[in-house]
Structure 1
Amino acid sequence: MNESAYRVETTSRLAQWKIDTLSSCTYRKSDPFRIGNWNWHLTVEKNKVLYIKLYPVISNLTRESPPIASFVVRVFCSVGNRHTLIHPGVTDKQLKNIDDFVWSIETPLSGKFIIDVEFLDLKTTSPNGGEPCSIWGEGFSQRQSNATVLASLGRMLSESIHTDITINASNGSIGAHRAILATRSPVFRGMFSHNLKEKELSTVNIPDISIEACQAFLNYIYGSIQHTEFLTHRLALLRASDKYDICDLKDACHESLIEDIDTKNVLERLQIASLYQLPRLKEGCMRYLVKFGKIFDIRDEFNAFLQGADRDLIAEIFHEVLSAWKGF
């Protein structure tokens, strides 16, 4: 059997193992694959019943901080009419060894099938105790610099300390500081450095953003944004970061949008990636749709998407589909 038979393909939160065939009384273990902070294995064991197991590779990290996982497992079988078996799902279960998650399937499976594991969340226990924390929130918090300085900047915004510029959103206004805005954005700096109406009137009009999203935008600039606030307003923040040339915010939005691609948002994310020139997001959406076969799960939505999508984007999608078929 070739080496690819044991390889598990992954995105940031999705693992997929394609198995050509399993004879009776067979045991097979995948190569290790990485999701989050841990390396993982999938195993299948076929006797009278098919057993699927998911567990982390034993290591010092696993012993000291075993993952607390929430995920859904699906099995796609391609013999005859395509059908899907879906595990009810696992929520906040600590996984330490090979017996912590076992799915027994009594339905006979033959021919090619795919094991698909979608991780909804991965948590780890804090060394100081307390509630487990999601690892997908850590990267955002780690990007925050000196906490004292950021807290001071946040107070300047929240308490309107010596504000000298007014931001008019679509449904409200917020006071801000032109020096901070100019430092963070070359577009704002240009507005305040030349004899433009923004400099003369001490106002900036942003009519395409709500007051809530504008507050999140300013909170990011001042270093006081909360992770939940960031997630809620990611798309508006992406538009604002592109418009005002704030590269680190655009990069943060780009990375975050890659992390939770699913069937409900993949087509929207694909359009966003094309519009704002986000190559890694586009690649992630393409892989999810084509390589992982999710295009078949959203046929109606995909057909509707094709009616209004950009022609160049449609051409890229079909190029990916044709390339995948050639390699199948």
Structure 2
Amino acid sequence: MSESAYRVETTSRLAQWRIENLASCTYRKSDPFKIGKWNWHLSIEKNRGLYIKLYPEISNLTRDNPPIASFIIRVVCSVGDRKALTHPEITDKQLKNNDDFVWALEVPLTGKFIIDVEFLDLKTASPESGEPCSIWAEGFTEKRSNATALASLGRMLSESIHTDIIINASDGSIGAHRAVLATRSPVFCSMFSHSLKEKELSTINISDMSIEACQAFLNYIYGNIQHDEFLTHRLALLRAADKYDLSDLKEACHESLLEDIDTKNVLERLQNASLYQLPKLKTGCLRYLVKFGKIFDIRDDFNTFLQCADRELIAEVFHEVLNAWKGF
């Protein structure tokens, strides 16, 4: 049997195992695959019924910090009309060994099929409080400094301490500080260094952002943004980062948008990846659509996409599809 029979393809939160034929065996275990901090396995067993298991590989990490997983698992017939069997969503289930999650299927499976696991969240118990904490929030939290200087900078914005410029969003205004904006953005620096209207009138018009998104943008600049606020306004922050040349914010949005691609957002993210030249996001979206077969799950949305998307982007999508077909 080929090595590919045991390989699981992954994105940051999706794992997909293609089963070519189970007729000749009663048990198969996948190669380890990495999602989050852990290596995982899928296994399938025929014993009167059919049983699918998902579990982390045994290790010191698993023993000391077992994952608390939320996920959706499906079995998809990979031929014909791609009928799918979907297990009810699993929420915050601790997985330590290969008996913690077992899915017994009553429907026999023959021929080619796909086991598809979409991880919605992975948590571990916090050493301080014991409360579960998402590992996908940790990286963001760790990057936020709690130094006194940064906290004071945030207060300057939130309490409007000695603000000297007004930013007009589409539906409101916020006071800010020229020096902070100029330090963070070369575009703002240029505005205040030359005899432009922003310098003379002490105002900046950002009419393409709502007041909430503009507040999130300033909170990022001042080092005071919250994780939920960042997630809510990622696309608006991406546009602002590109417009005002904040490369660190643009990269933060780029990395974050890669983490939770799904059928509801993949086409929008693909278009933004093309518009703002985000190569990893574009590759991730194309891989999700083509290699993982999600293009079949959003046919109506994809047809609408074909009618309005950039011609070059459509050509790239079809190029990926053709290359995928050549591999079969």
**TM-score, scaled relative to structure 2:** 0.98
Q: Does 1:58 align with 2:78?
A: no
2:36 aligns to what? Answer: 36
1:290 aligns to what? Answer: 290
Counterpart amino acid of residue 33 in structure 2: F
Q: Report deviation, 1:120.
A: 0.4
Q: Report deviation, 1:149.
A: 1.8
2:323 aligns to what? Answer: 323
SS in 1 for 2:204: strand
Q: How does 1:188-199 map to 2 (within 5 A)?
A: 188-199=188-199
SS in 1 for 2:167: strand
- Count the aligned residue pairs: 328
2:270 aligns to what? Answer: 270
Q: Distance in 1 between matches of 2:295 and 2:225?
A: 35
SS in 2 for 1:16: strand
Q: Distance in 2 between matches of 1:173 and 1:119?
A: 39
Q: Distance in 1 between matches of 2:254 and 2:79?
A: 38
| Structure 2: stretches of 5+ with no match in the other structure | none
SS in 1 for 2:55: strand
Counterpart amino acid of residue 165 in structure 1: I
RMSD value, Cα: 1.0
Deviates more, 1:124-133 or 1:10-19: 124-133
Q: Report deviation, 1:110.
A: 0.5
SS in 2 for 1:281: helix
2:244 aligns to what? Answer: 244
Q: Distance in 2 between matches of 1:256 and 1:29?
A: 31
SS in 2 for 1:223: coil
2:306 aligns to what? Answer: 306
Q: Distance in 1 between matches of 2:280 and 2:238?
A: 15
Q: Distance in 1 between matches of 2:91 and 2:218?
A: 35
1:88 aligns to what? Answer: 88
Counterpart amino acid of residue 317 in structure 2: I
Identity %: 81
Q: Report deviation, 1:78.
A: 3.1
Q: Is the 8 A contact 1:30 1:42 kept in 2?
A: yes
SS in 2 for 1:160: coil
Q: Is the 8 A contact 1:238 1:250 kept in 2?
A: yes
1:187 aligns to what? Answer: 187
Q: Report deviation, 1:79.
A: 4.9
Q: Is the 8 A contact 1:70 1:89 kept in 2?
A: yes
Q: Distance in 1 between matches of 2:211 and 2:313?
A: 32
Moved over 2 A (4+): 78-82
Q: Distance in 2 between matches of 1:23 and 1:246?
A: 56
Q: Report deviation, 1:184.
A: 0.3
Q: Report deviation, 1:81.
A: 4.0
Q: Is the 8 A contact 1:24 1:47 kept in 2?
A: no
SS in 1 for 2:261: coil
Deviates more, 1:223-232 or 1:71-80: 71-80
Counterpart amino acid of residue 225 in structure 1: I
